[in-house]
Amino acid sequence: MHQIEPLIFEKSSPGRRCFTLPACDVPEKPITHLLPEKMIRKHAVKLPEVSEIDVVRHFTRLSQKNFCIDTNFYPLGSCTMKYNPKINEDTARLDGFTKLHPYQPVDQCQGILELLFDLEQLLVTISGMYAFTLQPAAGAHGELTGMLIIRAYLEKHGEKRRKIIIPDSAHGTNPASAALCGYEVESIQSNRDGLIDLKRLKSAVTKDTAALMITNPNTLGLFERDILDICKIVHDAGGLVYCDGANMNALLGIARPGDMGIDILHLNMHKTFSTPHGGGGPGAGPIGVTEKLKPFLPVPRIEMAEQSLKEGMNNTKHDKSATKTYVLNYQHPDSIGSVRAFYGHIGIMVRAYTYLLSLGKEGVCKVGEFSILNANYLRHKLIKYYDIPYGKTCMHEFVISAKKQREKGASALDIAKRLLDYGFHAPTIYFPLIVEEALMVEPTESESMETLNAFADAMIQIATDIEQRPEAIRNTPQTTPIGRPDEVKAAREPKLKWEKQ
Amino acid sequence: MVLKLRLLIKFFSLIVLLFIVSIFTLLTSKLFDGLLFIEKKSIMDYVPNTEGDKEKMLHEMGISSFEPLLEGIPKTLRNFSLKLPQGLSEPQVLKSLKYLSEKNTNTNQCISFLGAGAYEHYIPSLIDHLTFRSEFYTCYTPYQPEVSQGTLQAIYEFQSLMCELTSMDVANASMYDGSTAFAEAALLSIRLKEKNKIICSRATHPEYRHVLRTYLKGMGTEILEIDTPDGITDMNQLEGAIDDNTAAVLIQSPNFFGCIEDMEAISQIAHRHDTLFIACVNPISLGILKPPGEYDADIAVGEAQVLGNYLNYGGPYLGFFTVKKEFLRKMPGRIAGETVDHHGTRCFVLTLQAREQHIRREKATSNICTNQALLALRACIYLCTLGKKGLAELSRLNVQKSHYTYERLCTLDIFEPAFKQPFFNEFTIKSKSTLSIRKVNEHLIKKGIIGGLELSEYYPDLANSMLLCVTETKTKESIDQLIAELTSL
Domains with residue ranges and CATH for chain A: 8-63 (no CATH), 368-487 (3.90.1150.10)
Q: Cβ separation of A369 and B80 shorter than 8 Å? A: no
From chain B, the residues in CB contact with A96 under 8 A are 98, 100-104, 106
Search chain A and give the residue with CA nearest B89.
Answer: A358
Q: What is the mean pLDDT of residues A382-397?
A: 96
Last residue of a domain, one of B367, B384, B401: B384
Residue B227 within any structural domain of the chain: yes
Question: In 3D, which of A391, A388, A352 has the Cα closest to residue A222?
Answer: A391
DSSP B312: G
Residues B425 and B445 in one domain: yes
Residues B162 and B310 in one domain: yes
Q: What is the mean pLDDT of residues B295-321?
A: 98
Residue B62 has a CB neighbour count (10 Å cut-off) of 8
pLDDT in tens, B82-100: 999 999 999 999 999 999 9
Q: What is the CATH number of the domain that holds B456?
A: 3.90.1150.10
Helix, strand, coil in percent for chain B, rounding step 5: 50, 15, 35
Partner B contacted by A180 (CB < 8 A): yes
Partner A contacted by B141 (CB < 8 A): yes
Q: What is the mean pLDDT of residues B455-481?
A: 96
- Binned at pLDDT 50, 70 and 90, residue B36 comes out as very low
Average pLDDT of chain B to the nearest whole number: 93
Search chain B and give the residue with CA nearest A490.
Answer: B339
Residues B394 and B354 in one domain: no
Residues B216 and B155 in one domain: yes
Structurally, chain B folds into a number of domains equal to 2
Residue B229 within any structural domain of the chain: yes
Parent domain of B208:
125-384
Residues B310 and B376 in one domain: yes
d(C-alpha A428, C-alpha A451), whole Å: 18
Residues B165 and B302 in one domain: yes
The pLDDT of residue B28: 47
From chain A, the residues in CB contact with B139 under 8 A are 66-69, 277-279
Residue B408 within any structural domain of the chain: yes
Average pLDDT of chain A to the nearest whole number: 95
Last residue of a domain, one of B353, B384, B415: B384
Residues B374 and B413 in one domain: no
Residue B483 has a CB neighbour count (10 Å cut-off) of 15
Residue B68 within any structural domain of the chain: no
From chain B, the residues in CB contact with A481 under 8 A are 146-147, 149
Search chain B and give the residue with CA nearest A79.
Answer: B140
Q: Cβ separation of B288 and A485 shorter than 8 Å? A: no
d(C-alpha B15, C-alpha B17), whole Å: 5
Question: In 3D, which of A77, A353, A497 has the Cα closest to residue B140?
Answer: A77
Where b means 16+ CB within 10 Å and e means fewer, A267-282 reads bbbbbbbbbbbbbbbb
Residues B399 and B363 in one domain: no
Separation in Å, CA A26 to CA A439, B391, B436, B474, B482:
62, 19, 29, 10, 14
Q: Is the pLDDT of residue B38 over 90?
A: no
Last residue of a domain, one of B330, B355, B384: B384
From chain A, the residues in CB contact with B177 under 8 A are 137, 340-342
Q: Which of residues 283-312 of B touch A (CB under 8 A)?
A: 286-291, 294, 303, 310-312
Alpha-carbon torsion A127, A129, A130, A134, what sign? negative
Helices (H) and strands (E) in chain B, counts: 14, 15
Residues B279 and B352 in one domain: yes
Distance from CA of B342 to the nearest CA of A (A): 6
Residue B23 within any structural domain of the chain: no
Residues B286 and B423 in one domain: no
**Paired sense of beta strands B246-253 and B197-201, if any:** parallel
DSSP A196: B
3 state DSSP class of A264: strand
Residues B350 and B415 in one domain: no
Q: Is the pLDDT of residue A317 over 80?
A: no
Within 13 Å and on the Cβ side, how many CA atoms surround B45?
Answer: 26
Residue B215 within any structural domain of the chain: yes
The pLDDT of residue A7: 98
Q: What is the mean pLDDT of residues B291-305?
A: 98
Task: Identify the H or E element spanning B95.
Answer: helix B90-102
Residue B10 within any structural domain of the chain: no
Going by C-beta distance under 8 Å and a sequence separation of 6 or more, which residues neighbour residue A275? A84, A88, A269, A283, A284, A348, A351, A352, A355
Where b means 16+ CB within 10 Å and e means fewer, A139-159 reads bbbbbbbbbbbbbbbbeeeee
Where b means 16+ CB within 10 Å and e means fewer, B431-446 reads beeeeebeebbebbbe
Residues B342 and B430 in one domain: no
Task: Identify the H or E element spanning A209.
Answer: strand A209-215
d(C-alpha B245, C-alpha B242), whole Å: 8
Provide the ipTM: 0.96
The residue type of A430 is Y
Q: Which of A17, A56, A64 sits opposite B389 (nearest CB)?
A: A17
| Separation of CA B325 from chain center | 27
Q: What is the CATH number of the domain that holds B315?
A: 3.40.640.10
d(C-alpha B318, C-alpha B180), whole Å: 10
Bridge partners, B276 (sequence order)? B248
Helices (H) and strands (E) in chain A, counts: 18, 12
pLDDT in tens, A323-368: 789 999 999 999 999 999 999 999 999 999 999 999 999 999 999 9
The pLDDT of residue A258: 98
- Binned at pLDDT 50, 70 and 90, residue A174 comes out as very high
The pLDDT of residue A309: 47
Q: Which of residues 436-475 of A touch B (CB under 8 A)?
A: 445-449
